[in-house]
Structure 1
């Protein structure tokens, strides 16, 4: 892959052919896709089936990214590699043996919790972070063995630190920012970013306005300034891209994402009563094809060619290489 080719650590929504065409035009040749938020095992299998149909029907522009080599092959062939991920662990339904089975079906990234505390760990939105549960430690061990990357983007900071310590392989925060740069419950404290740095983990810097703030959502140079400041905290080998961009979302999709089936009330997720609906995209990121300006944006704030390559795709490829393969232990 060239420095101007991009891997995005997380996007969500209803992908279609135009999604892949536009990502390809922007130089994005790998993206972790969100196959589910609150769904259990059967619904998650339905989602996986739909993804298989989608890739099959668009095989001229899309492929599955089960391995780093498959992602690089997709790039060489002018395709976008879809890396299968879930933003919650509900697909396991408390069954430790399902972890390996999901890995065998091609799932490569799973977030321990979404917006609520669950049986694995505490969420970033709970009043108190419960920390990593016994079952959470078992799931992490099994994910390490089966070849699934542990994601802690919506996980509480204490639980994230404990997950990093418990994991035999480096973990990811696929889509979040540094709390010290923009204070938000979804963002990660510096001690978490230091722990990622010290263990080979990676944070994907997000472009979601609710957790990025208006200043860093301005021109591309402003967002790349956030990337540079994150590198100052976490190191050049632990910072990548995780835009959290959504595809074809409507009001019911946002309601499901934020409220699922767990409440009769209103929950704003990362939004607020003052800004309850869809957050305006960053000024520089009005369409998917705008991602093509990221590499030059990084250069404009002082990153070298080697550093641009690490941020745009190299750090993700390195992490995928360390985590996507099944272990014998």
Structure 2
């Protein structure tokens, strides 16, 4: 099905912004209101492809929670995703930082990952009118055309690959499309020979490499080794905040050279406690890596006590963030790349790389 972006006469897939279910309705000054109207209109045509949401893990702890209904206990639900103009979501399958199971043995990591995949697929089945599993860039566009939120599964942890690529191919068969090498022995301090084979297989399968949490050295090695663009699904600019989860300028330049994507998070520890601080990180990534290499990776999905910046406490805040960027002088073409275009391009480039590698024998 043709991408909605290619059809200027197509109706918006779903309403966003003020007036939508779950949207903020506080009055705003005239200038800000004008920017908010422009942001809302832009999101109707170029919705957000959010690179990180941890809701699946949260729902495993509260299996009877209904995301069709807003709940202050969780920051993500379908009404607020709609209100924020989210058209695609990458659902993280990682164990959250700080959870005791993050240091579990490899076999437990595999078991937890399979449970996460099962919970993610169950989520799609439970809400078929709002969410649909996406396996490709075409699925991304098709879901948007049908008014559904395209749902990509991943990343899974690189620790699940214990010296064999079979697990990677099994995850791909189950619908996973992203892998995060951070913490894996084959990407710890240096990229090993097996690590290079993992990257080749990821490229062959059109799975994305997520550099989140990798050291600058390993991140640059991975970006250089991959024939397809790599992503950082949730991060900030280390030059603005030297948090270990933020990417250095060196990594941003490597992403620019590789056609990759740095997706800025809404985590107060990494990007500050206000919407304006998040916009500062977006400004820096755009200035250094270029408008084609900046995206959004909110890290929403946790329970309500997880701190997010004022104005961006849940997905309904996306129109306000875009309004802030418009007031900072971002052209609408760059905002369209930020929200949707860059994520779609990275997925299509990964698929092109995979087709080019089809003549290679499976390891």
TM-score when normalising by structure 2 = 0.74
Indicate the SS of the match to 1:66: coil
Q: Any idea what the Cα deviations from partners look like across 1:262-291, whole Å, max 9, x if unmatched?
A: xxxxxxxxxxxxxxxx55210111233222
Corresponding position of 2:53: 11
Aligned counterparts of 2:269 and 2:301: Cα–Cα separation in 1: 13
- 1:246 lines up with 2:301 in the alignment: yes
Corresponding position of 1:98: 167
Q: CA RMSD in A?
A: 1.9
Q: Any idea what the Cα deviations from partners look like across 1:48-99, whole Å, max 9, x if unmatched?
A: 1222121111001111121122122222222111110035213333321222
Change (3 A) 1:120 1:21: farther
Q: How do 1:1-329 and structure 2 match up within 5 A?
A: 3-4=42-43, 5-13=47-55, 14=58, 17-18=67-68, 19-37=77-95, 38=102, 40-113=109-182, 117-122=183-188, 130-213=189-272, 217-218=273-274, 220-248=275-303, 279-324=306-351, 326-327=354-355, 328=358, 329=360
Quick check: 1:225–1:301 contact (8 Å CA) kept in 2?
no
Quick check: 1:11–1:246 contact (8 Å CA) kept in 2?
yes
Aligned counterparts of 2:141 and 2:180: Cα–Cα separation in 1: 24
Runs of 4+ aligned structure 1 residues displaced above 6 Å come to none
Aligned counterparts of 2:216 and 2:120: Cα–Cα separation in 1: 32
Q: Which runs of 5+ in 2 are unaligned?
A: 6-41, 60-65, 69-76, 96-101, 103-107
Change (3 A) 1:212 1:222: closer
Aligned counterparts of 2:109 and 2:314: Cα–Cα separation in 1: 32
Indicate the SS of the match to 2:186: coil
Q: Any idea what the Cα deviations from partners look like across 1:233-256, whole Å, max 9, x if unmatched?
A: 11111011111123337xxxxxxx
Aligned counterparts of 1:147 and 1:208: Cα–Cα separation in 2: 29
Change (3 A) 1:78 1:25: farther
Indicate the SS of the match to 1:132: coil
Indicate the SS of the match to 2:187: coil
User: Who wins on radius of gyration, i.e. which is larger?
Assistant: 2
Aligned counterparts of 1:184 and 1:248: Cα–Cα separation in 2: 22
Change (3 A) 1:143 1:221: same
Quick check: 2:156–2:176 contact (8 Å CA) kept in 1?
no
Indicate the SS of the match to 1:316: helix
Q: Which runs of 5+ in 1 are unaligned?
A: 123-129, 250-277
TM-score when normalising by structure 1 = 0.82
Aligned counterparts of 1:86 and 1:226: Cα–Cα separation in 2: 23
Q: 1:120: Cα distance to partner? A: 1.9
Indicate the SS of the match to 2:154: strand
Change (3 A) 1:149 1:93: same
Corresponding position of 1:256: none
Indicate the SS of the match to 1:247: coil
Quick check: 1:9–1:31 contact (8 Å CA) kept in 2?
yes
Aligned counterparts of 2:302 and 2:150: Cα–Cα separation in 1: 16
Indicate the SS of the match to 2:171: helix
Indicate the SS of the match to 1:31: strand
